[in-house]
Structure 1
Amino acid sequence: MNKATLKEAADWYAVLADDSVTLKSREQWQYWLDANPSHKEAWEHISSVSRRFERIREGDDSNFEVVSDSLSRLQQRRLTKRSTLKSLLLFAGLGVGSWLSVTESQRVPDADYVSDRGEIKELKLSDGSKVWLNTASHMDTTFTTYRRSIHLQEGDIFIDTAVDDLARPLIVETQNGNLKALGTRFSVAEEGDQSVLAVYEGRVEIDTRWDSPRVISAGKQIRFSKGHWGVLQAADPARQSWVNHVLLAQEMPLGELLLRLERYRLGYIHVDPDVADIRVMGVFPLDDTNIALDMLAASLGVVVDKRLPWWIRVHA
């Protein structure tokens, strides 16, 4: 089932669930539904998941309150036990497969270090270096007599390098090249087919194997992929602030901010196009994204519609 189609179905479900839905909106929904067989499949899937929540509500209010409260608490705090989520979903009658297809979660790969969705994990490596794993990130380490290697499989990490007694280089391996730390604090992210390096102290050398190595100095960041260098820019403070469990927004478009918040919670956040470009400044908690959403509603005057436990719509 196409993820984009699934999101469209969720959007239409919330529109039709609104008490003020218009006849025109219903006609537009019917047109969308009839336009493609995949639309009907996605609509039936979203409706099925939602009906299961509704049956819990109608059958036993106390059970529904327990499920809703548990879902809310899972969204508000760091997720440290994948088994907790699995048990909760089975209790709610959703089935793990149904929920994962809605939230776009993926199977956790085999990695030395893994952070769950919503979790920010701090590590101290054997050489004394500190590494932070951002939400839903996966990392391996290999330390030998001659080299310290970190392999970022997915997500993003922040590294505070330590002076090594054996003078071994510290190398971060990404899908697009190797990064050599030159006494530094820096972040590395895998975003689609691109890697992103932001340097906050010291310098980092990038060896892509398809071009001469480049050295990135403190205060700068760059995107790169196979055969392509992005534009050298000022380091984004938000790529460092998450280490302190906050999202720092400096004239950030609301749509981009919500996309980043979505990484720290279960489900999907939809933002209407008419408010997506509103510029936002502020500091928002990542351990409690519901508070962050309430802050946005209060400061920007937008409506945060939490109609479904796994779907949120932000609109004017």
Structure 2
Amino acid sequence: MTDVEKMQDQAAVSKQHLKEAAEWYAALADETLAADIKQQWQRWISASSAHGEAWARIESVAKRFDQLRDDGTGTRAPASETLHSLQERRVTRRRTLKTMLVLAGIGSATWLSLSESPYLQMADYVSAKGEIKELALSDGSKAWLNTSSHMDVHYTTEQRLIHLLSGDIFIHTAADSNRPLIVETSHGRLRALGTRFSVAEEGDHTVLAVFEGRVEVDIGQGLNRIIDTGEQISFSKETWGVLRGADPARQAWVNHVLLANDIPLVDLLSQLERYRFGYIYVEPEVAQMRVMGSFPLDEPDVALEMLAASLDISIDKPIPWWVHIRSKNK
């Protein structure tokens, strides 16, 4: 098992425990709660070694926040006060969360982008978490990198080759009859035929959505097909997914908009989570609520507030990087 796989496995079994530990941390910092809260917390810690491990991670994150505040005398306030003072001093949320997570070194799949392999970081073009980067390529084509994406570009006299290493790209190709524009992913090769299209690496498959022109897709072994304007398809190295209409959301992110067209809340939050540091936990009883609307990708916390205003949900933040979404009636 690779280091990344170990981290992903660790994250899968500890998210619930981390959620509980974060809530305990918030409870212990609240002086208005019952006096026996510390005894209840100690019983929770003693109940499982996994609880102790989760608490150690949360405590580590909080302690490292102490390093972000110094009053000039060499002393630092408790972590809970530090979190509050950071907000008062208007340190940006993105910068605060990034510093917190880098210092903590938490091994969660949600935050793997903080420890990306050197190979990815050496890509020709890289976008940070939460960043949407617009690029002007040397042939006149335009490309947009979605959040946490990586691509290489290799132009020769015979072809224009773009290698998508991870994440999503949107491309508006420039005409060049002598050099076809090829996009490679780990699942196949796409040949642009005068187009605007998006390509996304999504785990064990790639998703192509064509918004203008056509794209020829070759997954090897003589398996190739042409995808026309308004069509979308997923594919792996061996199989094709179902051909469907192009999802407008796969183009909307270029304009920094998260578009929801009657999708489950949990799916929208999964997308929104890609643009902010931290973890969003949604309770099962509200996970399948249907959502419609447009939400700002540049301000994911504003998007969360918009959701709270339009749906029967409550959004709690026990600590800044942990968001807990539940029913208002619970």
TM-score (norm 1): 0.84
Code of the aligned partner of 2:131: E
Question: Equivalent residues in 2 for 1:67-146 (5 A)?
Answer: 67-68=86-87, 73-75=92-94, 89=99, 94=100, 96-102=102-108, 103-105=111-113, 106-107=115-116, 108-146=120-158
CA distance in 2 between partners of 1:315 and 1:117 (Å): 26
Code of the aligned partner of 1:219: G
Code of the aligned partner of 1:244: N
Moved more, 260-269 or 97-106: 97-106
Aligned to 2:18: 10
C-alpha deviation, 1:59, in angstroms:
4.3
Aligned to 1:219: 230
Is 1:198 aligned to 2:209, yes or no? yes
SS of equivalent residue, structure 1 residue 43: helix
CA distance in 1 between partners of 2:250 and 2:46 (Å): 39
Aligned to 2:4: none
Q: Deviation per CA, 1:159-192, whole angstroms, max 9, x where unpaired? A: 011112x531000000010000011110000011
CA distance in 1 between partners of 2:58 and 2:279 (Å): 12
SS of equivalent residue, structure 2 residue 253: helix
Instruction: Go from structure 1 to structure 2 and tell me whether the alpha carbon gap of 1:46 and 1:128 turns closer, same or farther (over 3 Å shift).
Output: same
| Aligned mate of 1:274, from 263, 280, 285 | 285
SS of equivalent residue, structure 2 residue 275: coil
C-alpha deviation, 1:38, in angstroms:
4.4
Q: Is the 8 A contact 1:5 1:38 kept in 2?
A: no
Question: Equivalent residues in 2 for 1:300-311 (5 A)?
Answer: 300-311=311-322
CA distance in 2 between partners of 1:43 and 1:234 (Å): 46
C-alpha deviation, 1:142, in angstroms:
0.4
C-alpha deviation, 1:58, in angstroms:
4.0
Q: Is the 8 A contact 2:187 2:205 kept in 1?
A: yes
Query: Between the two proteins, what is the percent identity of the paired residues?
Result: 51
For structure 2, which runs of at least 5 residues remain unmatched after alignment? 1-6, 70-75
For structure 1, which runs of at least 5 residues remain unmatched after alignment? 76-83
Instruction: Go from structure 1 to structure 2 and tell me whether the alpha carbon gap of 1:60 and 1:242 turns closer, same or farther (over 3 Å shift).
Output: closer
C-alpha deviation, 1:60, in angstroms:
8.9
C-alpha deviation, 1:14, in angstroms:
3.9
SS of equivalent residue, structure 2 residue 129: coil
Q: Give the CA RMSD over aligned residues.
A: 3.0
Q: Deviation per CA, 1:66-86, whole angstroms, max 9, x where unpaired? A: 5346897243xxxxxxxx679
Q: How many residues align?
A: 297
SS of equivalent residue, structure 1 residue 158: strand
Q: Is the 8 A contact 1:71 1:309 kept in 2?
A: no
Aligned to 1:182: 193
Q: Is the 8 A contact 1:5 1:39 kept in 2?
A: no
C-alpha deviation, 1:104, in angstroms:
3.0
Q: Is the 8 A contact 1:6 1:43 kept in 2?
A: no
C-alpha deviation, 1:47, in angstroms:
3.0
TM-score (norm 2): 0.81
Code of the aligned partner of 2:14: L
Q: Deviation per CA, 1:238-270, whole angstroms, max 9, x where unpaired? A: 111000000010001100101100100111111
